[in-house]
Every structure is written in structure tokens, then in C-alpha cells.
Amino acid sequence: MGKNSAKASKAKPVKSRANAPADGKLKRSDYEEALERLHVEIVKLQEWVKATGAKICIIFEGRDGAGKGGTIKAITERVSPRVFRVVALTAPSEREKSQMYVQRYLPHLPAAGEVVIFDRSWYNRAGVERVMGFCTEDQAKQFLKVVPAVEKAVVDSGVKLIKYWLEVSEEEQTRRLQDRIHDGRKIWKLSPMDLKSYSRWYDYSRARDEMFQATDTAWAPWHVAHSDNKRRARLNIIAHLLGQIPYKNVPRDKIKLPKRQKRGKYREPKYDYKMVPETY
């Protein structure tokens, strides 16, 4: 592990539960302070990835409403989308359905100097496709049989593959899905498929257990985070992620703004700009 990676994990920690309210929630001010420190480290990671040509692939899986999107947003909100790419594929086309299953995902794997984050991944086959009947049991079992070898090939090619599963309780999932129903800002997060899959909690549990059993390998292990407390889960995942990558601080020249040119003969034009109304 690199020196800066160790620093990230040893950075000033989030206040312990002893300093938190009785319900275990983290104050927004404490969360934002901790997240700011972690963001500084993520930017250092980004600069190291660019400088070294590292290839990093991060997979986020979990139950509906477990907080994958919010965690990905927390990771990426202070970095360049040219380095940190988020991949969230739609349902496969008829052509893609006829391909080898993982084929549609392979073009999205990182090139040198990239971090790719999959918001759901090829593990759709082991989860939603299996539970909701979009693939046969034989197809799901075949996937579980071959995917460790595929991931071994990915890792052997020089990609650092990190897999996260976000686990949420039945009660908290219900609360979050109900919140989506009643909040106009979140209703896009609730699809008919979410409603159908909501009733199949234990089918998903069985599918998850078999997936872990088959694909939790030495070269691509699963890391599980309990996410009933979103803020703590995000901070814990980011800190863990930083600890998985041996990044170092990339030296940079001291930055100093140059002098601006003088106005000279330039004058502001007399142009009737179409201004945006100042409604607020």
C-alpha cells in the first residue's frame, strides 16, 4: 500500500457513534467535513491514475434503494468525468441479447489513465435477470461458473477490479422506496421493475448468497457495506476504496496566475443580449 493510501485510511476519522445522536445518524456538518478530506484524497488518486496510466474498475451492486447512486455521486462529484467514467447501461438491445453475455460490458472497461465505475454491471445476470426471469436458471448458473475466469483475465490484463455490494435492511428499503413515490425529485428512480422486485426479497437473498459463493475470489473479492445510514456508508466505502489502491502524491509545479493583458483599444459592444431572466 502506498504512503498516501495509508494516509487516507489514517486521516482524521468520522466522529464515533459515541458522539452521534441516539439513532446513529451523522451530523451533516461532520459528514461534509469528512467528505471534504476524502475528496482531497480522491483528487490525488485521480492525478496518480493519469500520471501512471493505471486502470481501475469499480463495480457497485446491491438491492434496490441501497444507495449505489448516492455513493457513486459522492465519489465523482469533485473529479473529472474524463478520468472517472460512470457506466450505467440500459436494457440490452435485440442484437446485444444475441451476443456473448459479458460482451456488451467489455468495451466499457478502463483504458490507461481511467477509472470506470459500473452502476450495476455484468452481475445483472446473477441478480435481477435471474430473479425476474429474464434469463434461465441454466444461463444464470453458467454465468456464475465462467465469470471468475473472465474477471481473472481482466485483472491479469492490468485492471484493478474492486467490487462493492451495498446491503440495506427490509425496513429501510421500504422507507426509501416510499419516499421515491412521494418525492417528485426522486420518482424517476422508481421503475415498474423496482416495484415487481420489491416483493421478492428472499429470492434476491438466495441469488446474492449464491453469487457470493461463486464469485468472491482472491483476485476480485466482494466488499460488503451496510447502508441503512447513507452518510456513514458513503464515507466508509470511499475510505476503503482509497485504501485498496497504492496511489502516491504526484508532484506538481507551483501554480501562479499570469498577469492579464491590458484592455488596449477593446470596448464592450453595444449588443442587445438576450439575458436569462433573474427569476430568483
Per residue in 139-182, pLDDT (tens digit) is 999 999 999 999 999 999 999 999 999 999 999 999 989 888 88
What is the radius of gyration, based on Cα positions, of the chain? 22
Amino acid letter for position 118: F
pLDDT at 273 over 50: yes
Q: Tens of pLDDT along 176-214? A: 898 888 888 888 877 777 788 888 999 999 999 999 999
What was the pLDDT predicted at 18? 35
Return the percentage of the chain with pLDDT > 90, whole number.
Answer: 80
The C-alpha cell of 72 is what? 457513486
Q: Tens of pLDDT along 96-115? A: 999 999 999 999 999 999 99
Would you report the helix, strand and coil content of the chain in percent, each value rounded to 5? 50, 10, 40
Average of per-residue pLDDT values in the chain? 90
Three-state SS at 208: helix
What was the pLDDT predicted at 15? 43
Q: How far apart are CA 140 and CA 207, in angstroms?
A: 10
Q: Tens of pLDDT along 6-39? A: 444 444 444 434 344 445 789 999 999 999 999 9
What was the pLDDT predicted at 187? 82
What was the pLDDT predicted at 5? 42
Amino acid letter for position 184: G
Residue 264 — left, alpha, or beta (φ > 0 → left; ψ -120 to 50 → alpha)? Answer: left
Say which residue, 29 or 1, is predicted with more confidence.
29
In the predicted model, what is the mean pLDDT of residues 50-66?
Answer: 96
**Beta strand pairing call for 159-167 and 222-226:** parallel
Architecture of the CATH domain 3-244: 3-Layer(aba) Sandwich (3.40)
In the predicted model, what is the mean pLDDT of residues 54-59?
Answer: 98
Its pTM stands at: 0.86
